[in-house]
Each structure stands twice: as C-alpha cells, then as structure tokens.
Amino acid sequence: MGKEIERIALERGHEIVGRIDVNNQHELENLQKDSVDVGIEFSTPASAVGNIKTCLEKGWPVVCGTTGWLEHKKEIEALCENQKGAFFYASNYSIGVNLFFKLNQQLAKLMRGHDYRVDMTEIHHIHKKDAPSGTAITLAEGLLEEIDYMKGWTLVPEKKEGYIPILSERTGEVPGTHVIRYSSAVDTIEISHTAHSRQGFAQGAVVAGEWLAGKTGIFGMDDLLKLNDQ
C-alpha cells in the first residue's frame, strides 16, 4: 500500500518528504514540522497508534487506513481534539466500498420483519494481520444499526446466538472481497464487493489527504464523499 500510495501521490504532483517503515521508524521523529502538509499512515496494528500520536503531536493532519487498533480510537480522537489537529480514519478508502457500506445498510432496512439469517464472508491476502478485516467490521456495524435483534458479530468458527457470523479467509494475494448473505428456507440474497487491485484504496487515501490538509477535526469517508447528504 505504501508503494501504491507513493506512486499515486507523485502522479498527482505531490512531493514525498518522508518514507517511514519498520527499518527507519526513528526518522519519523526527525521530520521537521513545517516540511509536512499531511501524513498518510498505513502500517500494522502494533505501530499505528504510536505513528498517529507522533503526527498529531507534531501538528500534522493524519490520514489512517490501518485496521486492528480501534480499541484506542477514542484516545486518538481525544488527542486530536486537544491538539486542535485533524484526523481522518477509514477502514477502507475505496469509493466503491463506501458506496457498498450504504447499500449494505439500505438492504438491512428492507430485510426488517422478514425471516432471513444474515452472515458475512471476507477474503484477503495472506499478509493481512487482523481478522476480521476492518471493512468487515464496518459492514457488521452497519448491519447492527439496522437489525435491532442482533447483538453483535462473531468470528467463525465461534457460534453465538444473536450474533452475525463472519468467516475470514486468507489466501494468495487477494486485495479484498466482502460478501453479505441473507438466507431463508426458500432463497438466498447476496451482495458483494470485489476489489481488483489496491489502486482504489491508495487513490482514496491520497484524495483524503488532499481534502484533509488545512482542516481541523475528526473525519471519515462519509464527510469526504458527502454520503450523509444522500
């Protein structure tokens, strides 16, 4: 993702002033405050919180696409507000996926009062550290907003009555596939999103960085795409 983000940023006329990875993480501290307009953070769950804090403490707007660390999200949002900074988080930066989030919620509304069971499958490349994916969790949260008799989600093979089962598969170099399935005794309804490459994720992150520069506050893809106005 880092290489794809860099490629797209350069194509769009931006300058990359720092490239931070596991081999040179100390260099993040050495970057000068005024040399950075926005930081884009795609790393690992173990590194994300520290990276985001460093960016916010330096006064940089930060776009984060790392998943698997959200138990610390309130802490990060409080720091952002305290620093009068700017923080943009999305579990998925693809425009198509964010439209899929809205479709998911709309279908869940339509399914109210009908005798269907809902479950989810998500498939990603073997290098992905967290399961289920952040995108799957966002989809599950959307379902839970609309299906009031469901209590939460659970990761297969665990089974819990009243919880949405999510099956996570890791295979090959799959960029990301998510399937929502409604099943009854007589039929099955499915909606799915399949990414063909990581380009859509990277492009969305760069666009989010362009949009975030100069702003103050806490934002997400609904703000960028004005989906709440739809």
What residues act catalytically? Answer: 124, 128
Residue 78: CA count within 13 A, CB half-sphere: 4
Helix ranges (H only) for the chain are 2-11, 27-30, 45-57, 73-83, 95-110, 134-146, 199-212, 221-225
Non-local (6+) Cβ contacts of 214 within 8 A are 61
Nearest to 93 by CA among 82, 101, 85: 101
Residue partners of 121: CB distance under 8 A and separation at least 6: 166, 167, 169, 177, 178, 179, 181
181 beta partners: 119, 190
Q: Which tokens belong to 146?
A: 């609309």
